[in-house]
Structure 1
Amino acid sequence: MSDADILISLAPRHAKNIFSGLKKVELRRKAMHITSGTKAWIYVTLPVGAIVGHVEINAIHALSPPVLWRRFGSVSGLSKSEFFSYFDGVLKGTALELGKTTELSNRLSLKELRLISEKFQPPQFFCRLHEDSLILKAANANSKNNSLKPR
């Protein structure tokens, strides 16, 4: 496991629910091999197409979908049918318990990300952002140089 920050891609609806506090877990069909305390930068898919902020991962739970639903269904941002449709065919899913969120006032657009790193592609699952990553440096600089909306 690495202590690197990570970048995850989310649909606009899910990102909005995280930053509003309605969604308190991020669900994944596969294990992510990260540790508690990892900072997850959030790239929102098109039509937004930008890194919009970050969230701290407080805990990682790898459990069967029925147990995940019992523990986290009410804070998943999904209906029961959406939840079980997402986990269809999976014996063990992952719930990332989310902590403090910080929304950037000036987002890093896909165009800007590709100027920073020519081959940038939003991750399908997630990617690690090691300290020498140009994307991470730009995101951190954006965090420090712009007013933030912490939650």
Structure 2
Amino acid sequence: MADSEHILISLAPRHAKNIFDGVKHIELRRRPMKVEPGTIIWIYVTLPVGVLMGRAKVAALHTASPGALWRKFGSVSGLVRSEFLGYLDGLAEGFVLVLEDVKALCEPLSLEALRAIAKGFNPPQFFIRIDKEHPFFPSLTAPASVLFRRKRPKMLDASKQP
């Protein structure tokens, strides 16, 4: 895992929950992300949860019209059609990252813990790269037996979702 590229994205709690529950198999974006298949995506869950929950691997990337993306990925997006197409409204093309190998951390890292590792850390609006010099790199490339759970987490209380 240390040889792969690593990035960190921020997701709303319900989208992160859908990824870790196996409902959502893609990440939909309004603009392309310059990443390659095999990239490790670390998932920070925004407030009120406020934790780095786990990661997924990029299996494939797709750029197409919103309608074409909906036809191909709507059923694995965790979104209803109006929400999917509304998010991409006004764009000629949208961008999809197909996710695989989703894993939750044994112990999610709180925003406070992340800031203790990297002073001044703020969750990204789009994404950040985590290269070998980044303060998070050693923590995120520890052996899998230390980092990850065998089962998907019961991450969020459904009553707290926006």
Q: Is the TM value for this pair above 0.5? A: yes
Aligned to 2:76: 75
TM-score by length of 2: 0.86
The aligned runs of 1:57-136 (5 Å cut-off) are: 57-136=58-137
Q: Unaligned regions of 5+ residues in structure 2, if any?
A: 153-162
Q: Mark the CA change 1:144 to 1:134 in structure 2 (over 3 Å): closer, same or farther.
A: farther
The one-letter code matched in structure 2 to 1:39 is I
Do the aligned residues in 2 keep the contact of 1:108 with 1:139 (CA within 8 Å)? no
Structure 2 Cα separation of the partners of residues 54 and 146 of structure 1: 10
Partners of 2:84 and 2:114 lie apart in 1 by 31
What's the offset of the Cα at 1:141? Answer: 3.5
Identity %: 48
Equivalences, count: 149
| Contact 1:28–1:93 (CA under 8 A) maintained in structure 2 | yes
Q: Which has the higher strand share?
A: 1
Unaligned runs of 5+ in 1: none
Instruction: Give the Cα–Cα distance (whole angstroms) in 2 for the partners of residues 103 and 135 of structure 1.
Output: 16
Counterpart CA distance in 1 for 2:77 and 2:23 is 8
Say what the alpha-carbon RMSD is for the aligned residues: 1.6
Q: Is the 8 A contact 1:101 1:150 kept in 2?
A: no
Shift of 1:35: 0.3
TM-score by length of 1: 0.92
